[in-house]
Amino acid sequence: MAVHAHPDDESSKGAATTARYAAEGVDVLVVTCTGGERGSFLNPSCPRPPGPVDMATVRAREMARARRILGVRQTWLGYRDSGLPEHGEPLPAGCFARADPGAATGRLVRLIRRFRPHVVTTYDEDGGYPHPDHVMAHRIAVAAFEAAGDGGAHPGAGPPWQPLKLYYNHGSHPERSAALHRALLRRGSTAPYAPLPCEPVRRPDITTRVPCAAWFPVRDRALRAHVSQVDPDGVWFAVPTPLQQEVWPTEDYTLARSLVPVALPEDDLFAGVTTAGAGRPPVMAGM
């Protein structure tokens, strides 16, 4: 189970990993906490249609395309996008970041108990970058991981189920950015890689590097499916995919919690899970 804040996050953070596991027969569910309602048309090649626009419908349509490309299932947690307030503006009423954390955790616990994942991924305590919805997604994912197996917690959310491992994904980080930048300079690029404005400056503790270079093209197609948000000629695609496959062929994670023995570093999110006697979760209809 991959817990994300908005539609398109599933395609920019850990997408090649989930596509790889789905292709290998793992049942993967993306939980999208908000509908991305406060997004706008960020792609200059995707003109805004005339008249009123239901942004939630636009984002949901794009999410459906991306999900099919990645080969995963997807469901909504049901909260409204908080946006990214500037200049100290208050968060809008009714948004995800202002939701009651206990109630939001309960919703995610219900999904965990229904889907029964062995592995959960989300963002680190900074949200990957400090968007209020990303920080909130982190908070409730950690709380739900701990509560889902406790029969006394959220008793109306279904029979207890305890996931075995919790990871923080790192869509990018300084070590990766520097390696890609150096590779472009060595090749005489006239436009060396500049990290995205949302990339963290803190160097995370990478424990797990999942080889998934063969699925980078799938990731890119899924990201382009979010056509209102992603410029196909923009910074997300500043580094040619073959160069990324050569220089940095993994997606990287921090193992935040494990209930099975582990030997770090790892190259598989499921390391230790099968030896703990866990089988694959059953396919649950209606997610």
Annotated binding site for Zn(2+): 6, 9, 134
Residue 111, judged by CB atoms within 10 A of its CB (0-12, 13-18, 19+), counts as buried
Residue 49, judged by CB atoms within 10 A of its CB (0-12, 13-18, 19+), counts as exposed
Which H/E stretch holds residue 107? helix 101-115
Which residues does the annotation place in the binding site? 6, 9, 134
Q: What angle do CA 33, 36, 42 make, to 5 degrees?
A: 145
Of 241, 72, 120, nearest to 64 by C-alpha is 72
- Count CB atoms within 10 A of the CB of residue 147: 22
Helix, strand, or coil here: 140? helix
Q: Which position has the token pair 């953070």?
A: 13
Of 58, 35, 34, nearest to 46 by C-alpha is 58
Which H/E stretch holds residue 174? helix 174-186
Q: What angle do CA 25, 241, 41 make, to 5 degrees?
A: 90
d(CA 115, CA 248): 32
Q: What share of the chain is helix, strand, coil (3-state, %, to 5)?
A: 35, 15, 50
- Count CB atoms within 10 A of the CB of residue 35: 23
